[in-house]
Chain A
Amino acid sequence: MKTISGSEKKAFGIEEWKLKYLWLPVLIVVGMFVSWAVVVQPRFDDISQFRADSVKIRKNVADLDQKRNYLQSINENDLVQKDQLLSQALPNHKDVYYLLTVVQQIAQNYNYVVDSFAVSPGVVGVGTTKLTPVVSGKADPLTRIPLDISLIGARSSYLDLIDAIEHALPILSIDSFKMASTQDTVKLDLSVTTYLSTTTLAVAVENLTLADLTLTKDDLATLNTLDGFHKLQNSGIGVSGNGQGFTNYGRIDPFN
């Protein structure tokens, strides 16, 4: 009869005494799994995140540096000049007399006299314009000031007068035009409009791209066009930015 000693007893095909020594490697393997889940995997996730963040941050830094270099490359005087030119083109406050003054000054330059005029101060006010908004879906950022005016002068120079009105700052549009002429003189009935930009732009500095900062060809062409417009003497009314600012003296406006 054969007796089986304690050393020959088996479980799962392995002698039982051997199983007693396997606790250490089993513990190590369990420790490996636990540390993988608790330590290694989160660290790998962190490393992936750090790498992705670094790529994103470096791109942001490069973008910021590009934008900063562009802004630093802008000549401050040039920027102020452009700002002043645009402030002349689009004044930023309402003055119903201003348009009359401007048209009168142009007319005087061509020896025309003002026969009569009518302003419509009731139209003046934010949101009263009928122009198509520049930014679709948003409130119209332009306010219009219309003026009906009759001018009398030499027939030979009425084309130059019209041309001067259309190429003067602030920007003037002729909305209607009627002409009655005799041999040498002409009477022009004009409906002229000037524009005000009274809205303040909210700039989300952090969302701007380099393309948003850079002046496009169209922008430069517009600036070039404006530069060719006549700038009237003492037309500092409405100049903003670093130019002479508008002073409100608090006088009562008889039209409002």
Chain B
Amino acid sequence: MSINLLPSEAKFQTNRIHFRKKIIDVSYVLGGLWLGGLIIVYIIWLVYRQINLGDQKKLEISTAAYNRLSSHLITNQELRYRLKLVSSILDKRFEYSKAFRTIVTLFPPPVSIDNFNLNEDGTFYVKGSVVGHQNMDQVETELLSINNGDSAQFKSATLKQLSVDGENWEFSLEVVLK
């Protein structure tokens, strides 16, 4: 018995050719798309690289221009540094003249400040005098006002000594500045 396989073989061959063509087409498309993708990625990479190189060039130019001003810059920095040193000295030092001028303004006329000394603890020992007990009342009122915290410059004032000779009153105070 013999079987004619020709139509079936031909059909198989046709299928095979079609399949092969389809596979090759799909492969080309896939490969082409992938290759295209690769090229696009590479182009994007090149663009970014170029932008980056351009930015680096700009940075070099700006750095060079900035460094050309280094003498200005160093002077400026030294200036700021020395200003900080000066500021630290001025902040820490005790200004005798300011304190003395403040003490001189302790009482308005006719109260007279005859002498004063600055103690080591920063308090002032002040000697003063007035003529007449009404003016001495004024001194006491002023002391009360200072000790009540009404004075912007003086923290406290304590009467240490008081003497009277006729109408002439002499007093000694211990004064603390704010």
At the interface, is chain B mostly helix, strand, loop or mixed? helix
Contact sample, A vs B, 30 pairs, CB 8 Å cutoff:
A24-B23, A40-B41, A43-B45, A57-B55, A57-B59, A60-B59, A60-B62, A61-B58, A64-B62, A64-B63, A65-B62, A68-B66, A71-B76, A74-B72, A89-B82, A90-B85, A90-B86, A131-B92, A132-B92, A142-B85, A166-B97, A167-B97, A174-B93, A181-B115, A195-B85, A195-B89, A201-B78, A212-B77, A222-B87, A241-B75
Given contacts A79-B75, A142-B85, A162-B97, contact A205 B70 (CB under 8 A): yes
- B residues sitting closer than 8 Å to A (CB atoms) are 12, 16, 19-20, 23-24, 26-27, 30-31, 34, 37-38, 41-42, 44-45, 48-49, 51-52, 55-56, 58-59, 62-63, 65-67, 69-70, 72-90, 92-98, 100-101, 104, 115, 117-118
Distance, CA A226 to CA B87, complexed state (A): 10
* Complexed CA–CA distance, A18 and B70 (Å): 75
How many whole Å from A71's CB to the nearest CB in chain B? 4
* Pick from B76, B90, B118: contact of A225, CB under 8 Å: B90
**B-chain residues with CB within 8 Å of residue A22 when the two chains form the complex:** 23
Top 4 closest A-B pairs, CB basis? A163-B97, A50-B48, A64-B62, A173-B93
CB distance A68 to B69 under 8 Å? yes
User: Which residues from chain A contact B70 at a C-beta distance below 8 Å?
Assistant: 205
Contact of B34 among A21, A28, A68 (CB under 8 A): A28
Q: Which residues of B contact A82 (CB under 8 A)?
A: 79
Inter-chain contact A86/B73, CB cutoff 8 Å: no
Contact of A40 among B38, B72, B100, B101 (CB under 8 A): B38
A89 to B31 alpha-carbon distance, docked (Å): 79
Q: Fill in one digit per residue for A52-84: 1 if any B CB lies within 8 Å of its CB, else 0.
A: 011001101100110110011010100100110
Q: Are A142 and B89 in contact (CB under 8 A)?
A: yes
Docked-complex contact B69 and A71, CB < 8 angstroms: yes
- Residues of chain A with a CB closer than 8 A to B45's CB: 43, 46-47, 50
Task: Pick the contact of B62: A50, A68, A219 (CB < 8 A).
Answer: A68
